Amino acid sequence: MSEQAEVTLGRGGMPSGLGNRLLRHLWGVLGPFIGLLVVIGFFALIAGDARGAFLSLFNFKTVLTQVVIVALGALGMTLVIVSGGIDLSVGSTVAFCSVVVAWVLLQVPSPALAMVAGVAVGTLIGFINGSLITGLRMVPFIVTLGMLGMARGGAKWLAKSQKINGPIDCWLYEFMVKEPDGWGGVAPGVWMVLVLAIVVALLLTRTVFGRHVVAIGSNEATARLCGVRVLRVKVLIYTICGFFTGLAGTMQFARLTVGDPTVAVGLELDIIAAVVIGGGSLSGGVGSILGSLIGALIMAFLRNGCQQVGWPNYLQEIIIGAIIVVAVAVDQFRQRRGEVA
């Protein structure tokens, strides 16, 4: 065999480029899952007397209920990040939409109408974000950072800087019940997330729209030359993200039973971290719904584990911040390896 053949073929006769791509694909699929097992195993080892509580079925159901809000946000954020964008307003929008739901219930005792109103407000905010980004050719970071402040201020204005209590009995609360009768003993909100995740995964991987999202994130100029209506697709991406954020706000209200304008501060970091940990690239073009859901579970188990072992909140924030930096660093390293390969 010639020297050139030895360079182009890897072990077992597999082309080295194909082997590298296969390994990257396998790591993209298995990496987040392995990370989840490592987090659970780590806290199980150090939990001490709290090990039984941490590994209990009740605690796992609690984590699944807690992850609903972050997971819903991550479904929309995955589309945004795959397209090469970012949305920093999701935390404030969740708070605003939870206040809207509580406020509507205060005016009209109709949970269905309140839920529609909350989701509609989130969708509208997403549409405004997308329209400003595309219409004014502004950077998503700046637009959504501004919306972060406006949504938070709107929530405080509507609630008059106070909590708005929900009614004593409201079927919206059932979405976030940890151990409901029926539903397999799991909160209905969890099943809702799974169904929506399947829908978004199919949207991203099996439709023309999904291919356009990936194309824009990979190379926007090339996508435009290929006939992709970039501006229209971007507006739709941020609108969909707003829809899921509004739904997350409704679930936030269902969980707390109040509309609180001060909740979800920093939630955008958890949502972005979930997508990045799950294999999404902040440079765009890469990401998966399954990975984002696993990333959301990692974030939920991190917070739950820290609480179980008695670590203070500031330590949780330090850990989460460090994880975001490490995840982005790994993504950058992976991209450089891909360019070399």
The DSSP-derived string for 240-271 is: HHHHHHHHHHHHHHHHHSEE-TT--TTHHHHH
* pLDDT given at position 19: 54
Q: Residues 274, 78: contact at Cβ < 8 Å?
A: no
| Cut 0.85: pTM above it | yes
pLDDT digits (tens, 9 = 90+) for 235-270: 999 999 999 999 999 999 999 999 999 999 989 999
Domain extent listing, the chain:
28-340
* pLDDT given at position 4: 41
| Helix, strand or coil, per DSSP, at residue 15 | strand
28-340 to CATH, choices 2.60.120, 2.60.40, 1.10.3470, 2.30.29: 1.10.3470
* Greater pLDDT, 39 or 323: 39
* pLDDT given at position 25: 59
List the single range of 12-21, 22-31, 243-252, 273-282 with lowest mean pLDDT: 12-21
What is the phi/psi pair of residue 180, to 5°? -80, 160
Whole-angstrom distance, CA of residue 73 vs CA of residue 87: 10
- Hey, how many other C-beta atoms are within 10 angstroms of the C-beta on 204? 20
Q: Is 258 left (phi over 0), alpha (psi -120 to 50) or beta?
A: beta
* Greater pLDDT, 168 or 154: 154
Question: Is residue 86 scored above 80 in pLDDT?
Answer: yes
Residue type, 32: P
pLDDT digits (tens, 9 = 90+) for 135-164: 999 999 999 999 999 999 999 999 999 999
What is the end-to-end Cα distance of the chain in Å, rounded?
22
Structure tokens at 240: 């969909």
Question: Which among 157, 31, 16 is positioned nearest to 95, based on CA atoms?
Answer: 157
Whole-angstrom distance, CA of residue 131 vs CA of residue 129: 6
Please give the mean pLDDT across all residues of the chain: 88
Question: Is residue 15 scored above 70 in pLDDT?
Answer: no
Mean pLDDT of 11-34: 61
Q: Is 85 left (phi over 0), alpha (psi -120 to 50) or beta?
A: beta
Question: Is residue 81 scored above 70 in pLDDT?
Answer: yes
Q: How confident is the model at residue 51 (pLDDT cuts 50, 70, 90)?
A: confident
Whole-angstrom distance, CA of residue 260 vs CA of residue 279: 32
pLDDT digits (tens, 9 = 90+) for 208-226: 999 999 999 999 999 999 9
Question: Is residue 28 scored above 70 in pLDDT?
Answer: no
Distances (CA, A) of 270 to 38, 60, 93, 265, 321: 18, 19, 14, 10, 9
Rounded to 10 degrees, what is the CA torsion of 260, 266, 267, 269?
A: 170
Structure tokens at 312: 């203070």
Q: How confident is the model at residue 53 (pLDDT cuts 50, 70, 90)?
A: confident
Residues with Cβ within 8 Å of 50's Cβ and at least 6 positions away in sequence, in order, are 308, 309, 310
| Helix, strand or coil, per DSSP, at residue 165 | strand
* pLDDT given at position 326: 84
Whole-angstrom distance, CA of residue 338 vs CA of residue 341: 5
For tokens 């079925």, the residue is: 57
